[in-house]
Structure 1
């Protein structure tokens, strides 16, 4: 993947790690029948039963007869010819049957192909079926690997007429030559996954972070989900609660203690990697002030005080959430983060026009965020040109834009004054069309511009032609500016529709506040980010510098500097 992206191109990415090493949201066990719980897959967990001091257990019943690992987790590696032991801790309650006489029934563990409800009865059972009423107990079985990867590890309640099974843990380990056991090969073997950290998965993340660090690539990591089942059902009194909604509990609560233990693990295990840009506490919380932003501020404070400090934030599902980000308790949070899909969750009109003109889409939201008065950086954590029916679907006509005009224009619109950093949601499209060099061209143009000196402001350029637009910034004190000049009729939609797009000529005037001053103007090809030539232009008596534009078919960029 890193090779596909290429050096110097896209450098900032958002990666979900919730459930990778801790917690139940996005954990590796998948149901064949349960739907999503809001924006995360169903966990199959219940707090009505638990083993020992556990909080919850996996429940298998008629509504959820199969939970299996391999689909959302990948397949664990095996060594052919070696012996492995599978171990489960489970119980059954009033499991009756058989539905089909003469065949085994109850809960079982099988190594299967793609498991279909009602279609697994002929697959051999690795751990025999258990039915009736049984207390918590451990069952195990050995098998000899015959391939490099374990098949789907499937917990199945089959051929039953009633009842339920509860599972606390599933383990697979190698039996070594001396009779001892090797390391755990399954992800999240314990369903009380709020009490463990997955070291095997952590080692894989180590490798990714090390490679990303070497390549100057950076991740904002989504570390939790607001729908995290286990924390939501852990009440402040330390007892399980079916009603839930305890994720954001404050100091003194069990969930707060678990949050902080997890944060400390992340900081200690991964904090030294420069590839980690920041921690994002949760995806798409409610856009209002309150306990979640207070919890995020605690994470930000802990991370800032660490020996390897990193920014920390959260995200909201809609609007700029100014009341939340600007609340006094949110001050420690490192940067603001908003999500907006142009049609689905966007709030700026006209939505269809913005969808068809990606430069304008970015620019309008860039200005809106800049005007919100956050006083801190802003990331557009989920940006999308959606189809208007659901934010799950990208605008289908973009598939006809083979050269990525939509991404080119949206990226170069970032030259404007707002400073928002966008992360486009439908990343498969960027990979499928090999569009990552678009980011590289803009990066090369922007290289060396000292935006952090605190003096840059909107370039406030005026164009002489209605079909010209110019976005940029200037440092009047240093006599420097950079800008992107666009033929605004040349949109991705016009290209896809085959609309005739006339070239445009005119001027772009920049108030540089230096009368009769010579400036060196260097022109850039936006397809490459490389300079194409330079010229000296003198400002007028009022300090305005006027740049000529001739027969502009698409777009061009320029840097202005004193001689």
Structure 2
């Protein structure tokens, strides 16, 4: 739908205007035009409005407008664009930031996504309305030239079955729930296959929650940027970026550049002599049989050569072909540009051309010190654009052309994330993205005063609640996240960083400030600046926030601390090797591994929450893995467990009251082992568990520990009961049925006995629905139902016949009674031998 929109331009007073004219500084306000939007969307569906903004004086359209930024950020550089929404004729208004959007050709070539940039750009605003009815919107823009606001437009929102955004349950804060109050089960893992096929597999198997590292897509910041050094050296778990705070001797200004150098002793310095484009990340798309112009801007110093006198040319070049380890040598590969030498008085350029031939994706390109004996260069930009002839060039195809990675948001990976979020919405999967990297080198080198300094993690975490340059840049990124993807109900939450400092008060404070921002400030609603100031604003498109730590569960210091009320749920990382329990039994018993940590995390968090009169929080184990106490590598023997017993027991143990949501880390066995259905992958194990869990209203505020009694020590019983409604659910396992015993062919003795549950209505009948936890043929169906009568004291006694593996049951109130009998046939009968 296209609409002509009336603009209301807010201009300064006459006196200020005259003064501006006298000073030559008067600028026109931004002009909003070409507005397009759908006339109707469903509730919780994406409403997207696109438009253009002209006459803007913004120098960086990806930064918000700020007239008084912190030191180091130029004032008035950006532009703030928001779309205002109202469901009730402006009695209530919800602001949602908009973002600058680049259009791409979207194809599949060579079996891979092929996203080619076009010259088309627009401003986009995205929002998911949370109620049916007639809505209105208008657009607001502000830059250093003034502000503009469009007239209102109307669209319709229809009812839909969508359950809405995920929140912490208002009735039982151990759990998550949707806006409609339904329980969010949240079975999931670390993302590994984020294709449409992968999402379809998740949907088919009840996998709802995946954790993913958006930092690895290098949209914002320098980590995992596409320029890989020839030695592929890492600093800890991160590749070296090659970035350097370079002070220009011509201007005295310091900025981030990529350093490439070569030493007289060879390629031996910290900085590499070659950087390669095309090794990792999303490949650069090219059109076949097309000419491209190459341009690299750099400063060069102390470049000497030739190292091989048979080749007189030497210097900094761009080349392709050959091998990275021989790229330093003259005669290796094809040189595509001039040889760059010293540039003592100005910035130099490498200029060249390349024809793509039959390529759809850029082959390896080397930015290398060729045939030199020594020298160093500082790269500012790398550009490749289609040569259209006559001095005209197409759009930039290099994904990250500027080395000042902190100043912009990469559009190619942003478009890829658009696709991922779209698939998540289509297939009912929820995303838990990690959005910043704690070891981000640029942000660890910008001091609190806005100038470059030595590496310090305090600069990343910030000066507590003061907005430094780094915090301002982070907030600009957070605003972009909310603008581009915050509309989606399928964003479960934002995770600040992966495994940050678990004892850092700066880290704690930064996470709480992020909560304030995502819950309130990004929508233009202020929040108190100090500790304990909670963002009380409710926006329909706001999301939960959290962070993670490299060890422990700091409930006392952080998760249950009244100073930090804007963090929604706790996150713990605890492999067998890195956790605090160091229990060798966890190596062989996956159920015990879950149950011990679930109980420990829950009791710890509940205790400190109660001490401060706070509600407890949900807990997600964001990283977990079955390794060994002494080594953080997945136990290789899991590959011998072709029925996935380890995963089966690990998931079904999750019926316990600790409510620890598990996201297992290693993908290899999960994705590649055949599993019960004989097909590649263990995903179907999630399906049987999900079918059992999805109808349980465990978030209703009434569920408590089952506290089951068992006549047999050989049986493990976990579950919960709702005595208000007379419901219970339980998982009964033969303790000997562990993955280790299965692969070692240990003879497992059947275990039988009786299970007792108390607290039920005296002399009342209850149905016991027995579920085969391995059922794959007709998932989600109980295989028999018994009726049990409670005793005069409210005790239920449930017999269990000889059990080799495990079984699950649901208990509900019933009418009438038949004598209880122990279920039979509980061993595995319908999976491959």
What range describes the TM-score normalised by the shorter chain of this pair? Answer: over 0.9
469-478 or 271-280: which moved more? 271-280
Query: How far apart, in 1, do the equivalents of 2:273 and 2:444 lie?
Result: 24
Q: 2:314 aligns with which of 98, 105, 115?
A: 105
Alignment correspondent of 2:297: 89
Q: Does 1:426 align with 2:682?
A: no
List aligned pairs for 1:143-292, cutoff 5 A.
143-146=354-357, 147-176=359-388, 179-245=391-457, 246-250=459-463, 251-292=466-507
In structure 1, the residue matched to 2:698 is 451
Q: What's 1:533 paired with? A: 784
CA distance in 1, matches of 2:467, 2:582: 45
Q: Which residue of 1 aligns with 2:51?
A: none
Match of 1:504? 751
Match of 1:543 in 2: 794
- On the 8 A contact 1:57/1:192 being kept in 2, the answer is yes
Cα deviation for residue 73 of structure 1 reads 1.3
Instruction: Determine helix, strand or coil for the equivalent of 2:567.
Output: coil
Q: Distance in 2 between matches of 1:178 and 1:507?
A: 87
1:243–1:74 CA distance, 2 compared to 1 (3 A): closer
Could you say which residue in structure 1 is the equivalent of 2:595? Answer: 363
Instruction: Please give the secondary structure, in 2, of the residue aligned with 1:99.
Output: coil
Which ranges of structure 1 fall in alignment gaps of 5 or more residues? none
Q: Number of matched residues? A: 560
Taking a change above 3 Å as real, the CA distance of residues 224 and 112 of structure 1, as seen in their structure-2 partners, is: farther
Whether contact under 8 Å (1:88, 1:140) holds in the other structure is yes
Q: CA deviation at 1:301?
A: 2.0
How do residues 340-351 of structure 1 correspond to structure 2 at under 5 angstroms?
340-342=574-576, 344-350=577-583
Cα displacement string for residues 33-52 of structure 1 (whole angstroms, at most 9, x for unaligned residues): 25222222111111144697
Partner of 1:561: 812
Normalized against structure 2, the TM-score is what? 0.65
Q: 1:66 aligns with which of 274, 287, 308?
A: 274
Q: Which residue number corresponds to residue 134 of structure 2?
A: none
- Name the structure 2 match of 1:321: 554
Q: Is the 8 A contact 2:494 2:545 kept in 1?
A: yes
**Whole-Å Cα distance in 2 between the matches of residues 113 and 159 of structure 1?**
15
Return closer, same or farther for 1:349/1:150 CA change in 2, 3 Å cut-off.
Answer: closer
Q: In 1, Cα distance between the equivalents of 2:415 and 2:475?
A: 21
* CA distance, structure 2, for counterparts of residue 460 and residue 5 of structure 1: 33
**Matching residue within 348, 367, 372 for 1:137:** 348
Looking at structure 2, the residues matched to 536 and 207 of structure 1 have their Cα atoms a distance apart, in angstroms, of: 50
Aligned-partner Cα distance in 2 for 1:112–1:458:
64
Q: How far 1:96 sits from its partner (Å)?
A: 1.7
Contact 1:277 1:311 in 2 (8 A): yes
CA-atom RMSD in angstroms: 1.9
Q: How far off its partner does 1:353 sit?
A: 0.7
Give the aligned partner of residue 13 of structure 1: 210
1:449 offset after TM fit, Å?
0.9
* CA separation of 1:155 and 1:5: change in aligned 2, threshold 3 A: same
- Name structure 2 gaps, 5 residues minimum: 1-197, 262-266, 524-538, 610-615, 674-680, 815-833
Alignment partner, residue 312 of structure 1: 545
Cα deviation 1:232-264 (Å, max 9, x = unaligned): 101111111123321011323110100101100
Contact 1:55 1:234 in 2 (8 A): no
Larger Rg: 2
CA contact (8 A) 2:327 2:333 kept: no
CA distance in 2, matches of 1:110, 1:275: 43
* d(CA) in 2 for partners of 1:178, 1:278: 49
- Displacement of 1:178: 6.9
What's the secondary structure of 2:294's corresponding residue? strand
Aligned residues of 1:480 and 1:562 also touching (Cα < 8 A): yes
Taking a change above 3 Å as real, the CA distance of residues 232 and 175 of structure 1, as seen in their structure-2 partners, is same
Cα distance in 2 for partners of 1:13, 1:226 equals 21
CA distance in 1, matches of 2:389, 2:382: 23
Residues 293 and 329 of structure 1 are in contact (CA less than 8 Å); yes or no, is this contact kept in structure 2?
no
User: TM-score w.r.t. structure 1 length?
Assistant: 0.95
- Kindly indicate whether residue 619 of structure 2 is the aligned counterpart of residue 378 of structure 1: yes
- Larger mean Cα displacement after TM superposition, 445-454 or 298-307: 298-307
SS at match of 1:202: helix
Contact 1:94 1:133 in 2 (8 A): no
- Whole-Å separation in 1 of the counterparts to 2:230 and 2:588: 39
Residue-by-residue CA offset, 1:99-144 (whole Å, 9 max, x unaligned) = 2222232221123355225566411111222234544223221222
